[in-house]
Amino acid sequence: MKKVLMYKGKYENLFYDVSTEELKSESFLKLFNFLDRDVIAYVNLTSDEKEPICSFCNNSGKVSSTNCGITRQLDCPDCGGNIKRDRQYYKNNVKPEREYYNKAKTGDADAAIRLLNHRKKYQYEEWEIYDIQ
């Protein structure tokens, strides 16, 4: 049975034969290069963005406020209390995707497959593998 990778593009669909491991590796690298070069899908992975840091609250997301002798913890006015969520998103998404991207740029098919799987449901990066006869 033959397997086909279908990329669901904005204007047209692309099809790649993935019937064997060699064809699968080659096809995913081709799709990665297409998304990188023509769709420019990985611009956020090529930037020098670092892990988010909030020096105002020292990455806790909270600051102490004392009013009438009562101390309360409030969301940090600088990061809005979202620094922990932002750091977790960076750790779970941006950092591994950037590592996969850099490896895929050198021709690492496994890294390209991992990156494409990680971003499979992103807009303009949707794809599926179908069995055909």
Q: How many domains does the chain have?
A: 1
Instruction: Give per-residue pLDDT as tens, 74-99.
Output: 677 776 767 677 777 777 788 899 99
Mean pLDDT, range 17-35, rounded to an integer: 96
Q: Which two tokens stand for residue 12?
A: 């047209």
The whole-chain average pLDDT of the chain stands at: 85
Strand intervals (E) in 18-126:
62-67, 70-75
Spatial distance between the Cα atoms of 88 and 86, rounded to a whole number of angstroms: 5
Q: Where are the alpha helices (DSSP H) in 42-128?
A: 83-89, 95-105, 109-118
CA-based R_g, the chain, Å: 21
Domain that holds residue 14: 2-132
The reported pTM is 0.74
Average pLDDT over residues 51-70: 68
